[in-house]
């Protein structure tokens, strides 16, 4: 005998979830992906606002601090202060009587054969170690002076590069540039690739064949030549870097989207739309493209790392982002050259790049896991 009461239990009403909401919930449960998303947000914020808040500007050159190692303690080092003061005064062609350091102030007594030019304070101010040099005493005949200068404390937590620029500030601006390049190139590639692939897949037949043939051809062209041309004709413009990189990446997207479109085309809802008389453009826009978005989003998060690495390869060849801007690729290839003398020049940008790429990869994985219905 069946228990009719239980079989007639009506399940409580729940709101039905869309594909995106389900996916988002699944994503939330993926701890690695969530952590990656947070990291990514941190990077984006760092890239957008970091350079304004960094203690140094990314293009400021400190000629006294070329390639200094990373340190939490401020520069200058104690043992360098007095010799630097002596050197500066010597360049002013004065004879040094005494040099003392008192707290944050250096006191120098010097004399010269002729009247001392009051401009000698500039010699000390020039040095990145001292500011606010002033003459506190002058002897009667004007040939001896006592000067005081404040020792300027600067912190370079990641050290400085080969020109004496703060590496931390450089890394922040490079994050901005790399993310910009990654995002914009990907958008360009996406825009072109999706349209192209969807059209080719939808129209099918000979047109599809020709369009894919064009993709194959472009794939085989010498990319480096293309980049050289761009650098030569538009070298200083960073936007051109996006175009160069985007021009290569749209090919893969087009292929993938075309594959998706072909399989989608035979699905019932597309056939229904066709039967209803929806225009081909409308079908592509409203049915095909939204359904390919899943793989596209996933591919995007995996494309951005590819773009950033491609840009770093171009920087290694010297064809990438130009001065005074910089990207992670430029910093890393500079660091690779200085690996043995100043390893921090390689380590910190590499960590920055690795963490960023890890985050993007895990986020991509998470999105794929979340959006793929067969995976659970």
CB nearer another protein, residue 49 or residue 219: 219
Q: How far is the CB of 324 from another protein (least distance, A)?
A: 7
Q: How far is the CB of 240 from another protein (least distance, A)?
A: 13
Question: To the nearest 10°, the Cα dihedral for 260, 262, 266, 268?
Answer: 30
CB nearer another protein, residue 121 or residue 284: 121
Q: How far is the CB of 237 from another protein (least distance, A)?
A: 11
Among 158, 165, 187, residue whose Cα is nearest residue 325: 165
Q: How far is the CB of 14 from another protein (least distance, A)?
A: 26
Sign of CA dihedral 154, 156, 159, 164: negative
**What are 196's two structure tokens?**
């192209």
CB nearer another protein, residue 38 or residue 336: 336
Q: How far is the CB of 163 from another protein (least distance, A)?
A: 5
CB nearer another protein, residue 111 or residue 322: 322
CB nearer another protein, residue 143 or residue 337: 337
- Alpha-carbon distance of 20 to 366, in angstroms, equals 14
**What are 84's two structure tokens?**
């630097």
**What are 35's two structure tokens?**
């952590």
- Alpha-carbon distance of 20 to 202, in angstroms, equals 25
Q: How far is the CB of 260 from another protein (least distance, A)?
A: 14
CB nearer another protein, residue 51 or residue 284: 51
Q: How far is the CB of 13 from another protein (least distance, A)?
A: 31
**What are 139's two structure tokens?**
């002897």
Residues lying near another protein in the complex (CB under 8 A) are found at: 32, 61, 63, 66, 91-93, 119, 122-123, 126, 162-164, 213, 216-217, 219-222, 224-226, 228-229, 231-232, 235-236, 305, 309, 312-313, 316-319, 322-324, 329, 332-341, 346, 350, 353-354, 357-358, 361-362, 365, 368, 374-375
Q: How far is the CB of 67 from another protein (least distance, A)?
A: 8
Residue tagged 């228990």 (tokens):
3
CB nearer another protein, residue 264 or residue 319: 319
* Beta carbons within 8 Å of 61's beta carbon, 6+ residues apart: 163, 164, 165
What does the H/E/C string look like for 86-146? Answer: HHHHHHCCCEEEEEEEECCEEEEEEECCCCCCHHHHHHHHHCCCEEEEEEEEECCCCCEEE
- Alpha-carbon distance of 95 to 92, in angstroms, equals 9
CB nearer another protein, residue 224 or residue 239: 224
CB nearer another protein, residue 150 or residue 163: 163
Query: Coil, strand, or helix at residue 332?
Result: helix
Instruction: Check if the beta carbon of residue 346 is closer than 8 Å to that of residue 338.
Output: yes
Instruction: Check if the beta carbon of residue 164 is closer than 8 Å to that of residue 345.
Output: no
Q: How far is the CB of 298 from another protein (least distance, A)?
A: 11
CB nearer another protein, residue 266 or residue 374: 374
Q: How far is the CB of 238 from another protein (least distance, A)?
A: 13
Instruction: Check if the beta carbon of residue 158 is closer than 8 Å to that of residue 342.
Output: no
- Alpha-carbon distance of 211 to 200, in angstroms, equals 6
Instruction: Check if the beta carbon of residue 266 is closer than 8 Å to that of residue 274.
Output: no
Among 117, 142, 145, 147, residue whose Cα is nearest residue 132: 147
């Amino acid at each position: 005998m069946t228990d009719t009461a239980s079989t007639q239990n009506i399940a409580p009403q729940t709101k039905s979830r869309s594909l995106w909401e389900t996916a988002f919930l699944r994503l939330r449960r993926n701890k690695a992906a969530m952590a990656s998303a947070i990291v990514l947000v941190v990077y984006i914020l760092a890239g957008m606002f970091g350079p304004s808040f960094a203690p140094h500007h990314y293009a400021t050159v400190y000629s006294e601090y070329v390639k200094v190692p990373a340190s939490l303690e401020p520069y200058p080092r104690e043992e360098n202060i007095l010799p630097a003061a002596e050197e500066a005064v010597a360049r002013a062609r004065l004879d040094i009587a005494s040099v003392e350091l008192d707290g944050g102030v250096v006191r120098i007594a010097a004399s010269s054969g002729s009247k001392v030019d009051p401009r000698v304070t500039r010699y000390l101010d020039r040095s990145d170690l001292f500011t606010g040099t002033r003459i506190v005493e002058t002897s009667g005949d004007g040939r001896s002076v006592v000067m005081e200068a404040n020792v300027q404390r600067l912190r370079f937590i990641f050290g400085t590069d080969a020109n004496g620029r703060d590496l931390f500030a450089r890394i922040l601006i490079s994050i901005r540039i790399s993310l910009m390049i990654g995002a914009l190139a990907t958008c360009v590639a996406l825009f072109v690739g999706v349209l192209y692939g969807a059209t080719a897949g939808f129209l099918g037949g000979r047109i599809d064949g020709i369009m894919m043939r064009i993709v194959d051809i472009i794939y085989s062209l010498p990319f480096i030549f293309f980049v050289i041309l761009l650098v030569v004709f538009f070298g200083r413009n960073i936007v051109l870097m996006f175009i160069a990189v985007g021009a290569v990446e749209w090919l893969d997207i087009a292929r993938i989207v075309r594959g998706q479109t072909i399989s989608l085309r035979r699905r019932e809802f597309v056939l229904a739309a066709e039967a209803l008389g929806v225009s081909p453009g409308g079908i592509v826009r409203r049915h095909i493209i939204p359904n390919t978005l899943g793989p596209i989003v996933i591919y995007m998060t995996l494309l951005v790392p590819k773009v950033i690495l491609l840009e770093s390869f171009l920087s290694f060849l010297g064809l990438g982002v130009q001065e005074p801007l910089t990207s992670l690729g430029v910093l890393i290839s500079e660091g690779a050259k200085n690996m043995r003398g100043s390893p921090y020049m390689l380590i910190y940008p590499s960590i920055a790049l690795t963490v960023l790429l890890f985050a993007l990869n895990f986020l991509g994985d998470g999105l794929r896991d979340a959006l793929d219905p067969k995976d659970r």
